[in-house]
Amino acid sequence: MFSWFKPKKKSVVERVIEKKVENFQNPRMVLERFTAITGIHFNQKESITASKLINFCRNHSLYSFEELSHAMVNNQKILEALINMLTVNETYFFRESRQIFYLVEKIVLSQKAVRILCAPGSTGEEPYSIVMALLDRDVSPDRIEVVSLDINSDVVALANKGLYSARSLHKTSPHLQVKYFAKEGEMFKISDEIKNLVSFHTLNIFDDALFALGSFDAIFSRNMLIYFDEPTVLRAVERLSRLAKDRQSLLFFGHADFVKTPSVLVEHYEEGVKFYTPH
């Protein structure tokens, strides 16, 4: 019975794949390469990260950290997916808003056009907050250009969509919620009036394409440097300060981003707001 049935012979490739055995030994080699590319350090969270890396490898048919480490250099898609998994993108509208309102009042008084950079802008709440605050103070849209970058392509795509949960808006005044958002089910859609004034880029601040963005009157770099070690913070700040238009340009960092002011910056403190200008 069924003598006609012969199991199909396996191809050479199938037989080679079958022989492959997982061997996840040394996550450090992956993490060190990741840090060299992105600046992000893992410190004590290494064991959690190692189990995330094993899942990542299994989802991408990689059998060892050596293979992953190799793929990070030779396969742009793998690197992108890894970055999208390992970056922390927490943000919300009007986070540390005193800095935003301080800048807005300066711009209102100056009556000039401004270019503002958010590096990083994550899912868009920070750059959109700046534009909302400016328009709400009747700054003309043709005076405003905001550029936002982030290394994580998924968050850049979300920023471009401009659709947010109520959680993202918990620090947004009811007045601005009504003025600049439309309800879509449980979500809030940012208005085109705000959206059109921000451009979003997937970009690593350690990539020299950074310098093609031009120069800026104000640079926000908040809550990214906390993931870097001290030498990397200094390198990042030095690169960002090179994007300043002139010595009047203002730089804003998160309150935990660094303790000692990097030598390329001059620290200022006005009206309860800390900010910096280039040296």
Stretch touching ligand SAM by CB under 6 A, among 1-9, 58-66, 87-95, 131-139: 87-95
Stretch touching ligand SAM by CB under 6 A, among 19-27, 61-69, 146-154, 189-197: 146-154
CA distance 32 to 232: 13
- Sign, Cα dihedral of 212, 215, 216, 220: positive
* Binding of ligand SAM by 91 (CB under 6 A): yes
Joined together, the tokens standing for residue 148 give 């936002």
Residues 198 and 146: beta-carbon distance below 8 Å: yes
Residues in the chain: 279
CB of 232 to ligand SAM, least distance (A): 9
Fill in the per-residue mask, 11 to 50: x = in contact with ligand SAM (CB under 6 A), - = not in contact: ---------------------------xxx----------
State which of residues 33, 115, 195, 222 lies at the interface with ligand SAM (CB under 6 A): 222
* Binding of ligand SAM by 168 (CB under 6 A): no
CB of 133 to ligand SAM, least distance (A): 15
Burial class of 132 by CB neighbour count within 10 A (0 to 12, 13 to 18, 19+): buried
Burial class of 175 by CB neighbour count within 10 A (0 to 12, 13 to 18, 19+): exposed
How many residues of this chain bind ligand SAM (CB under 6 A)?
A: 24
81: nearest Cα among 148, 154, 26:
154
CA distance 156 to 162: 10
> Where do the H-state alpha helices sit in the chain?
12-19, 27-38, 46-59, 65-74, 76-86, 97-110, 125-136, 153-161, 174-180, 192-195, 230-241
State which of residues 71, 155, 218, 244 lies at the interface with ligand SAM (CB under 6 A): 155
State which of residues 1, 8, 13, 90 lies at the interface with ligand SAM (CB under 6 A): 90
Helix (H) or strand (E) holding 198: strand 198-202
Fill in the per-residue mask, 229 to 268: x = in contact with ligand SAM (CB under 6 A), - = not in contact: -------------------------x--------------
* Binding of ligand SAM by 224 (CB under 6 A): yes
Q: Is 96 left (phi over 0), alpha (psi -120 to 50) or beta?
A: left
Q: Is 278 left (phi over 0), alpha (psi -120 to 50) or beta?
A: beta
Which residue, 64 or 148, has its beta carbon nearer to ligand SAM?
148
Fill in the per-residue mask, 173 to 212: x = in contact with ligand SAM (CB under 6 A), - = not in contact: -------------------------------xxx------
CB of 13 to ligand SAM, least distance (A): 36
Which residue, 64 or 152, has its beta carbon nearer to ligand SAM?
152
Residue number closest to ligand SAM, CB atom: 91
* Binding of ligand SAM by 127 (CB under 6 A): no
The binding site for ligand SAM (CB under 6 A) comprises 38-40, 87-91, 95, 120, 122, 126, 149-152, 155, 204-206, 222-224, 254
